[in-house]
Amino acid sequence: MTIEVKNIVKKFGAFAALDNVDLKVGNGELLALLGPSGSGKTTLLRIIAGLDWPDSGELSFDGEDALGRGASERQVGFVFQHYALFRHMTVFENVAFGLRVQPRGVRKDEATIRARVKELLDLVQLDWLSSRYPSQLSGGQRQRIALARALAIEPRILLLDEPFGALDAKVRKELRQWLRSLHSEISVTTIFVTHDQEEALEVANRVVVMDKGRIEQIGTPGEVYDSPATAFVHGFIGESIVLPVDVRDGAVRLGGSALDIGANGAASGASKLFVRRHDMQIGPPGSGALQGAVRHVRSFGPIQRAEVALSAGEGNTVIEIDAPRDRELRAGEMVGLQPRRYRIFAAQK
Amino acid sequence: MTIITASDPAHLSHRERSDRVSDPGEGSSSAALPVGNRKTTVGIARSNSRTEPGPVRFVIIVLALTFLTVFVVLPLVVVFAQAFSKGFIAYFAALAEPEAWSAIKLTLLVAAISVGLNLVFGVLAAWAIAKFDFSGKTFLITLIDLPFSVSPVIAGLVFVLLFGAQGYFGPWLQAHNINVLFAVPGIVLVTIFVTFPFVARALIPLMQEQGTQEEEAAISLGASGLQTFFRVTLPNIKWGLLYGVLLCNARAMGEFGAVSVVSGHIRGETNTMPLLVEILYNEYQFVSSFAIASLLAMLALITLVVKTVLERRLDEGQAPSDH
Amino acid sequence: MSVIAVRRSNLPGFGLTMGLTLTWLSVIILIPLAALFLKTFELSPEQFWGIVSSRRTLNALKISFGLSFAAALVNLVMGTIIVWALVRYRFPGRRLFDAIVDIPFALPTAVAGVALTQLFAPKGWLGGPLAELGIKVAFTPVGIFVAMIFIGIPFVVRTVQPVLIDLDVEIEEAAASLGANRWHTVLRVILPGLIPALLTGFALAFARAVGEYGSVIFIAGNLPNVSEIAPLLIVIRLSEFRYADATAIAVVMLVASFLIIFAVNRLQRWAQARIPTH
């Protein structure tokens, strides 16, 4: 099933939750909607599910208009952030719900329903919990039951709202891998919403980065991490060093002095220089585009993280750099810094 | 010798207070142990920060219990004492009177109709108010609450103004030979008026707290609106609904002022149980009057017991939710 | 209802349930209450004033409002003491007495009326001893006062109880650790936190007593100008077919109770604004 979102606008009062959003999702994709809270990602998901309606715009599934159909007719599996399990039903009845409410004629007989529910519980590896109530389950178990319930209706699209948001870190990691392998097993077009970049990069085939109701970038995890399209994406994904610079006639200036790096076609004016922490190469004093004094070093694992006070321009700018441990840095040492890879974006007001 | 004072922080933070029964005879030292702050100090009478001195506690408890006994317990006891003052036979004979029977039947009929209608209305109103956002919601809730703050006599009066012989619809009703006032429909109408808020008020906060997620999940799984209500919403609100119906019923059966104004006191026809209590009392038929009153008092007691049970259920139902 | 602007929602049934709710509300509550005000407008202001300021009406209103106020004050004080005992102390029968507080809510007013009358009548269990002391309760204004106290108790107790239970115990300990004695702690730390609830309970008890009919009329004596409450006067005027008189008195009472609801709503909002979010 392919999904096409065209020019969707959704306002809550004066606040634009979605501001002219366009998105195409291919068949069988595993797509992440990534953004900070308030970026509109959950609203977009709810609109696709039919739990909300846009003020304007189009939505189609396989080329067919979907907005004319209510949530119950879209055959979309939705997994809620807090799971929304029916608290008065057993796990079994929760999963069976979507099959039991089908109109007469379509509805399968009891034996088929039972077999199907069993199959789904096996799929999520929780068959042994079928007679429990939701309140007796752990967070991770609830999550998987919610997923089994959503899969029961043989959804054409699977939507997950912050699927791991309410879980602790360890369970979260396990469930990520599990979701990936589940997706490759059932290969249903799947969209999940998350504010956790690591989760998006690790699980999804493609990532949609959103901010303030707009899509900032769509790309593979590699693309959004390595070639961020906007300052927001660069700042939101991965940890970056951000320096206020001034671009004039192809030269980049920090504070008063010019840096020995190219503007890479950035327009003149106040700008921001983005460098990944590990893309800042450390050399002897005098080398590189920036000079600084190491103030503090912490070493762990394969890297050492150094706080460096820059001497150029605004001298009290302190940046954090991740360097390999081939040469141990010491506090007080002077170093030269050269960005290996960097991007310059016009500064926004 | 130093004495170890074990002040357990877990205990301090716990809301449960010491189960120590305040015994006035025990005086200051142990009875006045700080509530919830169980210092195991031996031999030192500590002044404590979290409760009052023993004698003060004693006076407060005695005052509270005396007041409740005089103003609440004794009137209740009087009802039964008077009802049985001439023995069981007189009591049951009073209840077996045809007049008593017709009052009981009328009361049950009126309660059944008005509770039934208010049940349906209460659920509809609670659905609209609790599950959707719209402006003017607070105002609408205030309107639904209105009957609670209208004197029962005024509730009766407004229906007299509408349906009485000189009322707005009176002449039309007379021309069509429909009796509302001084007949069962009038009694039902005022009873609906005075019991109007009970079910809706019991459900609205409960349904608001439960949110709409489970309903949304049901809809996204293909359920229709009615399926969603009956399979998902109703099981979640059943105790709250029962709670509302219980209180609604108690008031419906016991309503006096409003019904008194519209009933016309036609013996054997438009007398409900509370009205019959009044009539018999004014005729100095105390045993009969209190016999009927004892039935209503029993209804009140049963209502209270069931209410306590339901309140516990409701508390339990809310506790394990993980939202 | 122009106040209602619908936001499109995902769940079905808003239009239907809201429509039925408004219809039912209008038929049962709004139209009948409107009839009351419509009837009042048939009177000229002079007529209205004439009825309301007549000696008997004025006395009935004074008795209803005055005694209700006094009874609500008693409920305020005794209700606080009862709540304190129920929440803060453990004693045998505490749960039972906690449940008993609700009896005035649950007991039909006519039953309460005859029972209180019997109890406080000159030959009653309490009326007898009191009569020997020269105190007459039943069939005097004191009787009205007693009945109003009876019906008002649960309002104060049930409004204040949850607030006292939820009161943060740490503030008491903080006060004590800062050197306050118990009396100061109660007076300066605990009571101020209870004031909105106390005032709400007082207002609710007051409003209920003003409108009360069933539990009062048996014990009242119902002597015009002495022990005749306003709701009874409405009933009497109705039985005399003096609808205009009944309506005018009712409007005065209704407006008064609307003002009380308004005050209670403001109190609730004030209370919510004062309590920091937990």
Is A72 within 8 Å of B219 when comparing Cβ atoms? yes
Mean pLDDT highest for which of A257-266, A287-296, B28-37, C164-173? Answer: A287-296
Residue B38 has a pLDDT of: 37
Quick one: average pLDDT of B277-285? Answer: 94
Is C8 within 8 Å of A53 when comparing Cβ atoms? yes
| Alpha carbon B50 to its chain's center | 34
What subunits make at least 3 CB pairs under 8 angstroms with A?
A: B, C
| Alpha carbon A257 to its chain's center | 38
d(CA C9, nearest CA chain A) in Å: 7
Which helix or strand (DSSP H or E) is residue A215 part of?
strand A214-219
What's the CA gap between A256 and A242, in Å, rounded? 17
Per the CB < 8 A criterion, the answer to whether B102 and B299 are in contact is no
Nearest chain C residue (CA) to B309: C99
Q: How far apart are the first and last CA of chain B?
A: 52
Residue B166 has a pLDDT of: 83
Is C210 within 8 Å of B146 when comparing Cβ atoms? no
Which helix or strand (DSSP H or E) is residue A303 part of?
strand A303-310
Chain B segment 194-223 residues within 8 A of A by beta carbon are: 213-214, 216-223
ipTM higher than the 0.85 cut: yes
- How many residues comprise chain B? 323
What's the CA gap between A70 and A61, in Å, rounded? 13
Q: B232: which chain A residues are within 8 Å (Cβ-Cβ)?
A: 86
| Alpha carbon C238 to its chain's center | 24
Residue A254 has a pLDDT of: 81
Burial status of residue A139 (CB atoms within 10 A of its CB: 0-12, 13-18, 19 or more): middle
Q: B22: which chain C residues are within 8 Å (Cβ-Cβ)?
A: 89-91
DSSP B233: I
What's the CA gap between C102 and C157, in Å, rounded? 9
For residue B149 the two structure tokens come to 């703050």
Nearest chain A residue (CA) to C9: A52
Is A46 touching C (CB cutoff 8 A)?
yes
Residue A89 has a pLDDT of: 93
- Listed in sequence order, the residues at least 6 apart from C241 whose beta carbon sits closer than 8 Å to its beta carbon are B166
d(CA B249, nearest CA chain A) in Å: 27
For residue B167 the two structure tokens come to 């009322």
Q: How many B×C Cβ pairs under 8 Å?
A: 319
Q: Write down the residue that tokens 């509300």 correspond to.
A: C25
What's the CA gap between C190 and C180, in Å, rounded? 12
Looking at the predicted structure, is the pLDDT value of residue B85 above 80? yes
Nearest chain C residue (CA) to A47: C10
Quick one: average pLDDT of A258-268? Answer: 79
Looking at the predicted structure, is the pLDDT value of residue B72 above 80? yes
Residue B164 has a pLDDT of: 86
Pick from A70, A135, A149: which is nearest to B221 by CB?
Answer: A149
Nearest chain B residue (CA) to C148: B71
d(CA A49, nearest CA chain B) in Å: 7
Residue C172 has a pLDDT of: 79
Quick one: average pLDDT of A160-181? Answer: 86
Residue B317 has a pLDDT of: 66
Chain A segment 300-339 residues within 8 A of C by beta carbon are: none
For residue B21 the two structure tokens come to 């029964």
Pick from B220, B227, B322: which is nearest to A71 by CB?
Answer: B220
Is C110 within 8 Å of B254 when comparing Cβ atoms? yes
Number of H helices, E strands in chain A: 8, 20
Q: Flag the least confident range among A252-256, B279-283, C236-240.
A: A252-256
Residue type, C94: R
d(CA B196, nearest CA chain A) in Å: 29
d(CA B2, nearest CA chain C) in Å: 22
Name the packing angle between helices B152-163 and C191-211 (round to 10°): 40
Is A51 touching C (CB cutoff 8 A)?
yes
Looking at the predicted structure, is the pLDDT value of residue A80 above 70? yes
Report how far apart, in Å, the C-alpha atoms of C170 and of each of B51, B267, B288 are.
Answer: 13, 62, 56
| Pick among B7, B66, B68, B169 to test the C interface (most C CBs inside 10 A) | B68
Looking at the predicted structure, is the pLDDT value of residue B27 above 60? no
Residue A315 has a pLDDT of: 55
Q: A53: which chain C residues are within 8 Å (Cβ-Cβ)?
A: 8
Question: Residue A194: what are its φ and ψ, rounded to 5°?
Answer: -155, 155
Per-residue confidence at A38, pLDDT binned at 50, 70, 90? confident
Q: B72: which chain C residues are within 8 Å (Cβ-Cβ)?
A: 100-101, 103-104, 150, 153
Report how far apart, in Å, the C-alpha atoms of C131 and of each of B68, B180, C187 are.
Answer: 21, 46, 38
d(CA A315, nearest CA chain B) in Å: 48
Is C8 within 8 Å of A46 when comparing Cβ atoms? no
Q: A84: which chain C residues are within 8 Å (Cβ-Cβ)?
A: none
For residue C264 the two structure tokens come to 């209670």
Burial status of residue B284 (CB atoms within 10 A of its CB: 0-12, 13-18, 19 or more): exposed
Per the CB < 8 A criterion, the answer to whether B143 and C25 are in contact is yes
What's the CA gap between A339 and A334, in Å, rounded? 17
Pick from B61, B154, B293: which is nearest to C253 by CB?
Answer: B154
Per-residue confidence at A316, pLDDT binned at 50, 70, 90? low
Residue B93 has a pLDDT of: 92
Per-residue confidence at B31, pLDDT binned at 50, 70, 90? very low
Q: Are strands A303-310 and A290-300 parallel, antiparallel or unpaired?
A: antiparallel
Residue B15 has a pLDDT of: 31
Q: B209: which chain A residues are within 8 Å (Cβ-Cβ)?
A: none
Q: B218: which chain A residues are within 8 Å (Cβ-Cβ)?
A: 86, 97, 101
Looking at the predicted structure, is the pLDDT value of residue B262 above 80? yes
d(CA A47, nearest CA chain C) in Å: 10
- How many residues comprise chain C? 278
Quick one: average pLDDT of A328-340? Answer: 87
| Pick among C10, C11, C14 to test the A interface (most A CBs inside 10 A) | C10
Q: C10: which chain A residues are within 8 Å (Cβ-Cβ)?
A: 46, 50-52, 71
Is C8 touching A (CB cutoff 8 A)?
yes
What is the SS3 assignment for chain C?
CCCCCECCCCCCCHHHHHHHHHHHHHHHHHHHHHHHHHHHHCCCHHHHHHHHCCHHHHHHHHHHHHHHHHHHHHHHHHHHHHHHHHHHCCCCCHHHHHHHCCHHHHCCHHHHHHHHHHHHCCCCCCHHHHHHCCCCCCCCHHHHHHHHHHHHHHHHHHHHHHHHHHCCHHHHHHHHHCCCCHHHHHHHHHHHHHHHHHHHHHHHHHHHHHHCCHHHHHHHCCCCCCCCCHHHHHHHHHHCCCHHHHHHHHHHHHHHHHHHHHHHHHHHHHHHHHCCCC
Q: Give the mean pLDDT per block of 10 residues along chain C (278 residues).
A: 43 91 94 91 91 93 95 96 93 91 94 95 92 91 96 94 85 77 81 88 93 94 92 93 92 91 83 62
Is B176 touching A (CB cutoff 8 A)?
no
Quick one: average pLDDT of B179-194? Answer: 93
Which helix or strand (DSSP H or E) is residue B191 part of?
helix B184-195
| Alpha carbon A314 to its chain's center | 34
Is A71 within 8 Å of C8 when comparing Cβ atoms? no
Is C10 touching A (CB cutoff 8 A)?
yes
Computed over every residue of chain B, the mean pLDDT equals 83
- Listed in sequence order, the residues at least 6 apart from C166 whose beta carbon sits closer than 8 Å to its beta carbon are none
Residue A262 has a pLDDT of: 80
Computed over every residue of chain A, the mean pLDDT equals 89
Quick one: average pLDDT of B83-93? Answer: 93
| Pick among B212, B213, B214, B221 to test the A interface (most A CBs inside 10 A) | B221
Per the CB < 8 A criterion, the answer to whether A311 and A293 are in contact is yes
Is B71 within 8 Å of C211 when comparing Cβ atoms? no
What's the CA gap between C165 and B315, in Å, rounded? 15
Higher-confidence residue: A85 or A172?
A85
Per the CB < 8 A criterion, the answer to whether A91 and A99 are in contact is no
What's the CA dihedral at A334, A338, A341, A346 to 10 degrees? Answer: 90
- How many residues comprise chain A? 349
CA angle B180, B181, B184 (to 5 degrees): 65
Q: B82: which chain C residues are within 8 Å (Cβ-Cβ)?
A: 115, 118
Burial status of residue A151 (CB atoms within 10 A of its CB: 0-12, 13-18, 19 or more): buried
Q: C12: which chain A residues are within 8 Å (Cβ-Cβ)?
A: 70
For residue C36 the two structure tokens come to 């009351």
d(CA B277, nearest CA chain A) in Å: 44
Residues of A with CB under 8 A from a CB of B: 49-51, 70-78, 80, 82, 84-89, 97-98, 101-102, 135, 139, 142, 149-150, 152-153
CA torsion sign for A212, A217, A221, A227 is: negative
CATH, domain range C47-273: 1.10.3720.10
DSSP A188: -
DSSP SS3 for A320: strand
Domain boundaries, chain C: 47-273
Q: A135: which chain B residues are within 8 Å (Cβ-Cβ)?
A: 320-322
Per the CB < 8 A criterion, the answer to whether C198 and C160 are in contact is yes
What's the CA gap between C219 and C228, in Å, rounded? 11
Render pLDDT for C173-190 as a digit per residue (tens, 0 to 9): 777 777 777 788 888 888
d(CA B224, nearest CA chain A) in Å: 7
Is C20 within 8 Å of B124 when comparing Cβ atoms? yes
Looking at the predicted structure, is the pLDDT value of residue B239 above 70? yes
